[in-house]
Copies of this chain bind each other. A is one copy, B any other.
Amino acid sequence: MSAFHLETGGLADGRQILYFNTTPGAGRASFADKRDLGDRVSAGEIRYDVLRDEWVAVSAGRSSRPLLPVACPLCPSGGDDLTEVPAPDYEVAVFENRFPSFGGFSEPGPLPPAAVAGMETAVPASGRCEVVVFSDDHDASLADLGPERVALIVRAQAQRTAALSARGDIAQVFPFENRGVEIGVTLHHPHGQIYGYPYVTPQTRRHLDANRRHRAATGRDLFDDILESERRGPRVIAENDHWTAFTPYAARWPFEVHVYPNARFADLTELPEEYIDAFAPLYLEVLKRCDNAYPGEQMPYMAGWHQAPVAEDRELGRLRLELVSIRRGAGKVKFLASSESVMGGWVHDLGPETAADMLKGAL
């Protein structure tokens, strides 16, 4: 169950495509991309926001990206239908995003400067944006794919984390899935993405700072203490020998599930095989509970792996998955307006225990 077979190929504009196969010798990378794509699109720059102390990518090229295109670019190619995936079938495929927010340059760039002087500082938006296609079945959903496929996807995410971490221009790797038109998903074919950021993201910096303070004050790891506290509490959604899924005490989103491995790992590259195998059925259970919370309504969600940075403060980070949803009632979504979006002042409308009880009862 643990092995995968990697084939690496290229697309017409020079982007890389990788096939993650459960069987050897599939030969998928041998199919050529017959499209005329013109020059490849590179990301723009990242600018330093002096007031918020964070980097912002400026990527004008992305505004031309397709909005629900007629033909699905993630389906396999076949006959005259030439897509982003040249092979006629596949299990899991990963390729560089054609309209990247980060990267796409011919050479990996440098990380942004650690200290910024002056009001206007910009460097090229180095890094990498990848698309991870979960299945060649356009109409599938991750929740339907079964544990073997989920495990293969996690192994692909782990391989990509290792590869992107080795490039030298990436500070943090974030594998994630956006699902649902309610959060702006433009392609319904089941897929996720991976962002290799050239900086440590603002949210992750906050988590690392909190752990630094907690360790100094208590001598204990903050994530250990959170997990221990939540495992004793009323908001555990699902668990097995290797993983615990819970709605956190101070949840911000109407539905929010954090999935922690029961031991501490920095990122997916450190995750043992048996943890990956144990993650798959547990995560499928979480997804099914989410989809059953409001009968007849798939839950829109954002789910991603929080990983330790590649280098800076790596020892303070901890691997876990967080899934959040804007669904706040039957047919209702929570909009993030001024308080949340502008000030960071969040209001939980349901109450974390109520939301957790709904998920616990939804199977």
CB-contact partner of A341 in B302, B328, B329, B347, under 8 A: B302
Contact indicator A56/B229 (Cβ below 8 Å): no
Contact indicator A322/B342 (Cβ below 8 Å): yes
Give residues of chain A (74-103) contacting chain B, Cβ–Cβ below 8 Å: 101
Contact indicator A351/B58 (Cβ below 8 Å): yes
Q: A210-B53, A226-B50 are in contact. Are A349 and B249 (CB under 8 A)?
A: no
By a CB distance below 8 angstroms, the chain B residues around A197 are: 343, 345
By a CB distance below 8 angstroms, the chain B residues around A207 are: 51-52
How many copies of the chain does the oligomer comprise?
A: 2
CB-contact partner of A354 in B60, B348, B354, under 8 A: B60
Contact-size category for A: 35 or more
Please report A residues at the B interface, Cβ cutoff 8 Å: 44, 47-60, 62-63, 67, 101, 119-120, 174, 176-178, 183-185, 193, 195, 197, 201-204, 206-207, 209-210, 214, 222, 225-226, 229-230, 233, 248-252, 302-304, 322, 324, 328-329, 332-339, 341-352, 354
A-B contact pairs, 25 of them (CB 8 A): A49-B248, A50-B210, A50-B226, A51-B226, A52-B203, A52-B207, A52-B250, A53-B206, A54-B346, A56-B347, A59-B348, A62-B347, A119-B229, A119-B230, A183-B335, A183-B337, A184-B334, A184-B335, A195-B343, A195-B345, A197-B343, A197-B345, A302-B337, A302-B342, A336-B336
